[in-house]
Amino acid sequence: MKYWDASALVPLLVSEQGSNASLEWVGRDGQIVTWLWTRIEVAAAIERRTREGALSRSQRRQVLAQLDALAERWNEVTDALAVRSRAIKLLARHPIRAADAGQLGAALLVQDQVAGSLEFVCFDKRLSLAAELEGLQVLP
């Protein structure tokens, strides 16, 4: 099972450096587990690319539709109070942003509920390091 951070989901929708790896991982294991805030983070990345001119308005609409379809298939961690509690503690231990603490808190919540190790798919270096220090197996 893999927990997917927003930084690893964006490359499934927009061609960038991590796209090949993300497509390979999702092809091998199509089960995506992520946090309820992820959809907002991915939408923000798409809107930023549109504002910067990397995506046209029609490309934006197409990518947002792909996001909707992808989000319909993934599993979301929705226990916001449990994630918040973990995230606050993680902020004291790691130099990560609030949303990243939420992602990591959600992944750790999932880790507690599954047998075996949870793979954490993430292209953000600071978040990947924090996840590794918290005992998750980080991809790439």
CA count, 13 A, side-chain hemisphere, 126: 12
pTM: 0.93
pLDDT 10s digits, 36-91 = 999 999 999 999 999 999 999 999 999 999 999 999 999 999 999 999 999 999 99
CA distance 10 to 113: 26
Nearest by Cα to 123 from 2, 8, 3: 8
pLDDT 10s digits, 7-46 = 999 999 999 988 999 999 999 988 999 999 999 999 999 9
Nearest by Cα to 134 from 118, 113, 114, 115: 118
Q: Can you name the CATH fold of 2-139?
A: Rossmann fold (3.40.50)
Give, in order, the Cα–Cα distances in Å from 98 to each of 56, 59, 107, 111, 131. Answer: 30, 29, 14, 20, 14
CA distance 99 to 43: 14
pLDDT at 55: 97
